[in-house]
Chains A and B, each alone.
Chain A
Amino acid sequence: MEILEKVQNYLSPLLGANTARIAVKTFSERLGKKPETLTRQDLPVLAQSMHGMLKTLCGAEKADKAIKDIAAL
């Protein structure tokens, strides 16, 4: 499974499929990468950059867990 798909699948139940797709696109573009070119090495940085968004939408506890999980996908 592609990295992009894995991250989207992780975020979908939380944010909804549409937001998950938009979130991965928005934050990977901020890292200067197209979502489909994401690699496993990008995940810790990508996860960290999503922390603020996840904290705001889901609370700190859930956000902390999510970034650890995403970094380890």
Chain B
Amino acid sequence: MNWILLVFIFLLGTGFFIYPLAALQEIVLFGNLAKVFSLFVAASSLTSTQNVFKTGDTPQKAWTSLAAGMWIWFFAQVIFAFYKIVLKQSPYPSLADIFFVIAYFPLLVGVALLIKDFRSTGLPMGSKNSYLLQAASLIAFYAIIFFWKLKDLLMTNDAPFLKFLNVGYPTFDFLLIAMTSVLIRISLVLRGGSLARSWIVLGLGFTLVGIADIIFAYQPLPFLDMLFFSGYFLIGLAGIYQLRMLRQ
């Protein structure tokens, strides 16, 4: 068992103990520190993976992009934790939100590059029809969310940037989940190998973060921090599994 998994299990266990028993202030402290730490672990792990590839290697671009995204989320989380722990404030929008949003771009590019790379290998990915069906289902799902919740957020008198954030967060999360669902499908073709394991935990990590973010937008429950840091640890594990494959 690798150290990331051990630390993750320890934090998860601590979380299960702390959330039902501790006071809100301690929960906020634990949640924010756990997120900062797990993002640091994830960003460092993806950077190590990126560094193992040679410059110009196709996977290097994808992992560099993913690592950049995780570092930006890390800085955003440090700023957010500073507001919450030191200033005891929860400003929204804040400086942290700018970084949280910017990070989606390299993350989406990274996942897109992994998919594009796999397509270029010439290995079968599944039928075109199944992807069309998947895309249609995802678009229909987003349309339901949009007309049910997001459209109203656009009609408010809030400042344009706030409107952008309110709609942008769930939209970016949805895009990330949609793209990683393709990655998880590809991983099923690759099942049994270290590469598949890496892509599956990466996909699961982004899915957990996306789900936590979407719920957080409507109900900022403290225990969601556990979903966030679990997602970040899974993303970090993806880097470790990719490294393991390269060192085999």
**Bound pair: A and B?**
yes
Task: Give residues in A with beta carbon < 8 Å to B.
Answer: 12-20, 22-23, 26-27, 30, 52-53, 55-62
Given contacts A16-B196, A61-B54, contact A52 B190 (CB under 8 A): no
**Do A59 and B52 touch (CB < 8 A)?**
yes
B193 touches A15 (CB 8 A): yes
What is the bound-complex CA distance between A14 and B195, given in angstroms? 8
Asked if A15 meets B195 with Cβ closer than 8 Å, knowing A26-B122, A53-B121, the reply is yes
Determine if B54 and A59 form an interchain contact, defined as CB atoms under 8 angstroms apart. Answer: yes
Q: Which of B53, B56, B191, B248 contacts A14 (CB 8 A)?
A: B248
A-B contact list, 25 entries, CB within 8 Å = A13-B194, A13-B248, A14-B195, A14-B248, A16-B195, A16-B196, A17-B193, A19-B190, A19-B193, A19-B195, A19-B196, A20-B193, A22-B189, A26-B124, A27-B122, A30-B122, A52-B120, A53-B121, A53-B122, A56-B59, A56-B117, A57-B121, A57-B195, A59-B52, A61-B54
Is A52 touching B195 in the complex (CB atoms < 8 A)? Answer: no
A59 touches B53 (CB 8 A): yes
Given contact pairs A52-B121, A53-B123, A59 touches B192 in the complex (Cβ within 8 A): no
- Extra A-B contacts (15), CB below 8 Å, given A14-B248, A16-B193, A56-B59: A12-B193, A13-B193, A13-B248, A14-B245, A15-B193, A18-B193, A19-B189, A19-B192, A19-B196, A22-B189, A53-B121, A57-B121, A57-B195, A58-B59, A60-B56
Count of B interface residues, CB-CB < 8 Å: 26
Which of these, A14, A52, A60, contacts B193 with CB under 8 Å?
Answer: A14
A3 → chain B closest CB, angstroms: 20
Q: Which residues of B contact A12 (CB under 8 A)?
A: 192-193
